[in-house]
Structure 1
Amino acid sequence: MDGMTTGGLALPALVAAATIGLWAFALLPEFLVALLFFSAATILRLAAPDVVFSGFASSAFWLVLSGFVLGGAIRKVGLADRVAGLLAPRLVGSWPALVAGVIGLTYALAFVMPSNMGRIAVLMPVVMALADRAGLPAAGPGRTGLALAVGFGTFQLSASILPANVPNLVMAGAAESAFGLHFAYLPYLALHAPVLGLLKGAVLVACIALLFRPGPLAPRAAAPAPAAMTPEERRLAALLLATLALWMTDSLHGIPAAWIGLAAACLCLLPRIGFLSGEDFASGVNIRTCLYIAGILGLAAVVTRTGLGDRVGRALLAVLPLDPARPALGFASLVGLTTLLNFAVTANGVSALFTPLARLLAEGTGLPLVTVLMVQVIGYSTPLLPYQAAPIVVAMGMGRVPARDGARLCLAVAAVTFAVLVPLDVLWFRLLGRL
């Protein structure tokens, strides 16, 4: 018998709460919490093993693993340092300029590359090489801030671009199947980019620049003109360009980004034609982070499959202050609902649970159905803790960022978002006739 028949929702709720609590407060290493979740969920039969371990079958898991391989190859052959050398003269003059440049890179790349994990894999080694050029110490706050800039910029800002974020795609697919709605690229961008893209980018720059300010930068002396690319660099550059081209055209050929990344990673590991040895793989792939990602995805699957997520959503719906005569209150309540759901099912699961409730929520708030669907983007793109957004976790793993620092930035950005950006979003939605 599974957890649903032996204890209703009590056991799934207890295991989910314990797992989330251990992750949130960093009481145990994140990979150990994931392993404990797998053990508890299987022993207590909360769900079938294929659900509990579904994170290992997820494309996100394999994109994370292949991202570590590609990042290691970029560092080893020297491409990261070469690109950093081209960017350094424009960015290493001051700490705020360096942070703003990295955030700008994450947002610009989101327009041409659909995968969060892929963008992190490409950017992280380049940004760490930039940190070297700026003279930032290996274990200092400045390097931590730049690693977080890659993760937060990649995940949070890409929510304003429809095809650049997994929760966006889940929401769009669920809305199409449930309500027959189709979201177009440009109207979606016009609705979200000004506040969730540009203004939130400015908030990220300010928070990172203030929270992780290093000592005075000590840029390296201007490097001589770079030498010609080595054969290894040329081969890796060709492989990366082909990988990027396939990622950018996934809507045409239908091959998911994860399997493209996995194939590229395999080429990087092949004897003679590849770039990494078995020892490089063992030292470069952060298995701890991979297990953590599998645990997050498995927890979301269990919460969804057992019905716990739906029960939580409907319970919250019953106590929300919904008043059709006060649309701004309804707007804020929906942001709060998605923020709370994010604790239980993480960002990828929020849209799957929230979207089916949209018609009921539209009736309760008096807001148009499309507006209700669009409001959730604010909530799932603003995690209160790092575990709620897998790309942030991956960036923290690649940059070796302590959990406490990731949580500090999450809370700071969320505080400014809810206090400043949400009211501005209300005004922007109203200006565009969505409220």
Structure 2
Amino acid sequence: MTPSTWLVAALAAATIGLWATARLPEYLVALLFFATAAVLQLAPSDILFSGFASAAFWLILSGFVLGMAIRKVGLADRIASGLAPHLTGSWPRMVGGVVLLAYALAFVMPSNMGRIALLMPIVMALADRAGLSEGSRGRIALALAVGFATFQLSASILPANVPNLVMAGAAESAYGIHLSYLPYLLLHAPVLGLLKGLALVACLCLLFPASPRRVAPAAASAQPLSAAERRLLVLLLVTLALWMSDALHGISPAWIGLAAACLCLLPRVGFLGSDEFATGVNFRTCIYIAGILGLAALLDHSGLGARIGAALLQWLPLDPDSPARNFGALVALTSVLNFTVTANGVPALLTPLAQSLADASGLPLMTVLMVQVIGYATPLLPYQASPIVVAMGMGRVPAGDGIRLCLWLAAISLLVLVPLDYGWFRLLGWIPR
């Protein structure tokens, strides 16, 4: 390794450590990362600041704008008033309803950030109606339910998660493999979708106990829509239709969301003024996301990510006669790589290594490709999954609460769900008997 590579490794370790311990605000850590890497000239500026040019950054920014508009015109309160009588009164039912809503929306809307942008203002309005005030444990739990369910559970649906699409594209490029929707869903939905959803609900209820008050059906929900509500509803339906059909027209969900956000900000036509944009958008989270993406780009540019992957391969205890140990080792490998390149980068790094892993472990190539889904869908820290970070920012969730839920859910996943996943893979024939 060159001195420059060692500097990249030291900077990455310091940045990840500060994010993990939350000793400094997350946006400040990101700015320190940018400043250090730029001063030391560790990468060209277009690599280092690529996060600001990424589709994810602009989809996050537009999501904040759409969320503010939904709240301001009253659509969030209207939808929440319809849901409140069915979900309030019981804390497990309320948490479970939000998790189920986030998972169900993943089947019809491919963008994680878009789903969070639509759901978060509705769920926060629901929390208001149930008496869960700003900063309360219950309100924090509902925000985390949106973020964790949106990212982690959607990994069980092929087109609903960015790492899934990266993995599918890399597998097609490297091996000519075309993944199919239904076999993928059958393999991952029972454990990564349903059982993990139950584990998420249990963790939220135990870690963040609350007593939401029961809400009676509101007469306001039956009142006719205002002119602003009708205009925004049309805009949201068009945006949702374009998001769902991105495979047909080829326009990135980020640019669709940005166009919708611009319409929300236009004078007379839109719904938000310049002061509301300046004070309502959480630019701290936007900078944090750009920092995460910039760190992943720097590791890829320096070759450090590939070096880490190749080095870990030499230490993996792979044995063709021990399929269960091989399964666990591959999940562990994905989890370790998640620390350096984050969830979106794991499949880009690991998929090209899949054939070598298959040869060493004796597992089929398709099985090796599918095992990585379990790992990148189970982040150990929030920064590894940008949708979770965005949800925490929109819901004003303290970093410590997000880290605590991450660790608890990861522990349950690794100790309980991974063995169940191994049994399910074996039952379906993905692991030879």
The match for 1:250 is: 246
Q: Which amino acid aligns with 2:425?
A: F
Q: State the distance in 1 between where 2:79 and 2:108 align.
A: 18
Select 1:224's aligned residue among 219, 223, 227.
219
The match for 1:195 is: 191
The match for 1:178 is: 174
Q: State the distance in 1 between where 2:219 and 2:187 align.
A: 45
Q: 2:380 matched to 1:392? A: no
Post-superposition CA distance 1:275-303 (Å, at most 9, x none): 00001101110000000000000000010
Q: Please give the secondary structure, in 1, of the residue aligned with 2:131.
A: coil
CA RMSD across the alignment:
0.9
- Once structures 1 and 2 are overlaid, which stretch shifts more, 392-401 or 135-144? 135-144
Post-superposition CA distance 1:126-153 (Å, at most 9, x none): 0001101111121110000000000000
Q: Please give the secondary structure, in 1, of the residue aligned with 2:353.
A: helix
Q: State the distance in 2 between where 1:110 and 1:273 align.
A: 30
Check whether the contact 1:135–1:220 (CA below 8 A) recurs between aligned residues.
no
Check whether the contact 2:306–2:349 (CA below 8 A) recurs between aligned residues.
yes
Q: State the distance in 2 between where 1:324 and 1:306 align.
A: 33
Q: 2:159 matched to 1:169? A: no
The match for 1:21 is: 17
Q: State the distance in 2 between where 1:29 and 1:268 align.
A: 30
Q: 2:142 matched to 1:143? A: no
Post-superposition CA distance 1:91-140 (Å, at most 9, x none): 00200000000000000000000000000000000000110111112111
Matches within 5 A, 1:2-21: 7-21=3-17
- Structure 2 gaps of 5+ residues are none
Q: State the distance in 2 between where 1:8 and 1:34 align.
A: 20
Check whether the contact 1:160–1:197 (CA below 8 A) recurs between aligned residues.
yes
Select 1:212's aligned residue among 198, 208, 212.
208
The match for 2:308 is: 312
Superposed structure 1 runs of 4+ greater than 4 Å apart: none
Q: Please give the secondary structure, in 2, of the residue aligned with 1:159.
A: helix
Post-superposition CA distance 1:182-230 (Å, at most 9, x none): 101111111100000011000101000110112x322345422531100
Q: State the distance in 2 between where 1:8 and 1:366 align.
A: 37
Q: Please give the secondary structure, in 2, of the residue aligned with 1:383.
A: coil
Q: Please give the secondary structure, in 2, of the residue aligned with 1:9.
A: helix
Select 1:401's aligned residue among 381, 389, 397.
397
Post-superposition CA distance 1:310-364 (Å, at most 9, x none): 1111111111111110011101000000000000011001011111100000011
Q: Which amino acid aligns with 2:209?
A: R
The match for 2:360 is: 364
Between the two proteins, the alignment pairs up a number of residues equal to: 430
Quote the offset at 1:254 in angstroms: 0.3
- Identity of matched residues, %: 71
The match for 2:261 is: 265
Quote the offset at 1:305 in angstroms: 1.2
Check whether the contact 1:66–1:262 (CA below 8 A) recurs between aligned residues.
yes
The match for 1:122 is: 118
Q: State the distance in 2 between where 1:166 and 1:313 align.
A: 21
Select 1:45's aligned residue among 33, 41, 47.
41
Check whether the contact 2:143–2:391 (CA below 8 A) recurs between aligned residues.
yes
Check whether the contact 2:95–2:204 (CA below 8 A) recurs between aligned residues.
yes
Q: Which amino acid aligns with 1:218?
A: R
The match for 2:280 is: 284
Q: State the distance in 2 between where 1:374 and 1:47 align.
A: 33
Q: State the distance in 1 between where 2:270 and 2:214 align.
A: 33
Q: State the distance in 1 between where 2:217 and 2:352 align.
A: 56
Q: 2:420 matched to 1:421? A: no
Post-superposition CA distance 1:133-176 (Å, at most 9, x none): 11112111000000000000000000000000000000011111
Check whether the contact 1:384–1:411 (CA below 8 A) recurs between aligned residues.
yes
- Once structures 1 and 2 are overlaid, which stretch shifts more, 324-333 or 220-229? 220-229
Check whether the contact 2:84–2:215 (CA below 8 A) recurs between aligned residues.
no
